Chain A
Amino acid sequence: MKRDARLALAAAAALALLPGIVLVIAHLPDFGRHPLPYGEAINGAATRERHVTNMVTAVNFDYRGLDTLGEEFMLLGAVTGTLVLLRGRRGENVSDAPAEAEGRPIPPRSDAVALACRFFAPVLLLFGIYVVLHAQLTPGGGFQGGAIIGSGALLLYLGEGYRIWRRLVRSHLFDAVEATGALIFALAGWAPMIFGAKFLENILPLGKTGALISGGLILVTNAGVALAVAGGFVLLMVEFLEETRTTKEDER
């Protein structure tokens, strides 16, 4: 389709949709005023019922834990699908050699980059673990902490280069981490049923409000999400870097 025709189509579509958009905007609730009662209800009940101070964690990992379980397996499915596509015929083989493209030498890392990455990679790892462990107390949780840990792992590649990255980051290990995370969440759902409770019911001792170990089953499901997200992020990075690395013609 020609550019003019496309623009005309886009303009016509915009004109057709405009009345609907104006109508919806005119009927939006006022800024900051939501009509739903659930937020207030959770704010009032979560600390009393679950001994946690982060309401978002209480919703994600307990009250609506079933939704998070679904998301967890969506993530697992997405990562698995990406891995299957990217691995292709290469399978699980890896090599120590970095990518080489003709006429495009790999520039050596500057000392500043290596130093910055050596400093920030462990700090990010530590911060990610902190965010995971304090899910029930302060903002953050398994997803955020897992993503931070994943970003910290990528700094290994940026700072140390391909060879050391591949030696330290084993995809078998992170395959297992990813799967273990999903398994922990699923078991956290089934285990209460063994004791006659409902699926994902919080039957563990809740602990003292404000303590690092509090919230009962929330700790377990949060750890499962943290493992799955960290493993998923690292695996995606491994496979993206691996995919772009291959240059031999006979491998394709």
Chain B
Amino acid sequence: MTILLAALLLFAAASGTGVVLTRKPRRQALAIAVNGVVLALLFMALQAPDVAYSEIAVGTAAVPLMILAVLASLKTDRPEQ
């Protein structure tokens, strides 16, 4: 296993933990996007470009965008604590 793979695996673990530890929904959406980018890079390094494509399209673009769009138009917006 190369240094590149080891580093990407560590990044994946770190950014995944970051998603869990982020508590505000808006920041969480961005944390998910960051995690998606790291996972896509990991899949690229493991020579799975098709999966990397799916991860970028769904995990980094579509899902965070959907969360952000819904948050932006939510009718009940509680004051942030």
Is B11 part of the binding interface, using a Cβ–Cβ cutoff of 8 Å? Answer: no
- Quick check: B50 and A237 within 8 Å, CB to CB? no
Residue in B57, B61, B75, B76 with the greatest tally of chain A CB atoms within 10 Å: B57
Chain B binding site: helix, strand, loop or mixed by DSSP? helix
A191 to chain B, nearest CB (A): 27
Contacts of A115 in B (CB 8 A): none
Is A119 part of the binding interface, using a Cβ–Cβ cutoff of 8 Å? Answer: no
Extra contacts besides A139-B53, A147-B57 (14): CB < 8 Å? A31-B1, A54-B50, A101-B75, A140-B49, A140-B53, A144-B53, A144-B57, A147-B62, A151-B62, A154-B66, A240-B66, A241-B73, A244-B70, A245-B75
**Residues of A that sit less than 8 Å from B by CB:** 31-32, 54, 56-57, 98-99, 101, 104, 131, 139-141, 143-144, 147-148, 150-151, 154, 157-158, 162, 233, 236-237, 240-241, 244-247
- Quick check: A157 and B53 within 8 Å, CB to CB? no
What are 30 residue pairs bridging A and B, where the CB atoms are less than 8 Å apart in the complex?
A54-B50, A98-B73, A99-B73, A99-B75, A101-B74, A101-B75, A101-B76, A139-B52, A143-B54, A144-B50, A144-B53, A144-B54, A147-B54, A147-B57, A147-B62, A148-B57, A148-B61, A151-B61, A154-B65, A154-B69, A158-B65, A236-B66, A237-B69, A240-B66, A240-B70, A241-B69, A244-B70, A244-B73, A245-B75, A247-B75
